[in-house]
Amino acid sequence: MKLIPRDKMLDFDEIVEQFFSTGQEAGEARSGFHTPRVDINERKDHYEICAEMPGVRKEDLSVTLENGVLTVEAEMRRQVPENEEHRVLRQERRYGKFTRSFNLGKDVDEDDIDATFKDGVLTLTVPKAEPQKPASHKIQIH
């Protein structure tokens, strides 16, 4: 399984934006999207992806699989909007969309992926596919 994050490693525009926007973390510039941190572990019969989703409710979380790409998305909304009576003095918590995608590759069983969400951590269990034996057949000589 490749499980390669689909994020651009060297996005020049983002590097420049990051340089001039010291208050934002990588992946947040311009787009308003956050990239959740993940741990990826390989077990004997499956892969396990654990993604941090702090403050996200289960109802606001989506996991999709399309054309071999597994995508995790969530949105965390600010609880109290700023207005005349409420002014934000410091904001370190993240709000907005969270998104992360992975290329699964061919060695996984896409039909049996399982997801659990507990204590702000999304755990995806991606079973490995049974290894296929190479097909052998006799080649006729002409």
Per the CB < 8 A criterion, the answer to whether 64 and 71 are in contact is yes
User: Token digits for 51?
Assistant: 């993604």
Q: How confident is the model at residue 62 (pLDDT cuts 50, 70, 90)?
A: very high
pLDDT, average across residues 39-61: 92
pLDDT at 5 over 90: no
Domain boundaries defined on the chain: 4-79+93-127
Give me the pLDDT at residue 18, please: 52
Element (H, E) at 96: strand 96-103
Q: What is the DSSP string of 65-101?
A: EETTEEEEEEEE--SS--BTTB--S---S--EEEEEE
Distances (CA, A) of 52 to 11, 86, 130: 23, 29, 30
pLDDT at 125 over 90: yes
- DSSP annotation of 19: H
- DSSP annotation of 67: T
pLDDT, average across residues 54-73: 91
Q: Which CATH fold topology does 4-79+93-127 show?
A: Immunoglobulin-like (2.60.40)
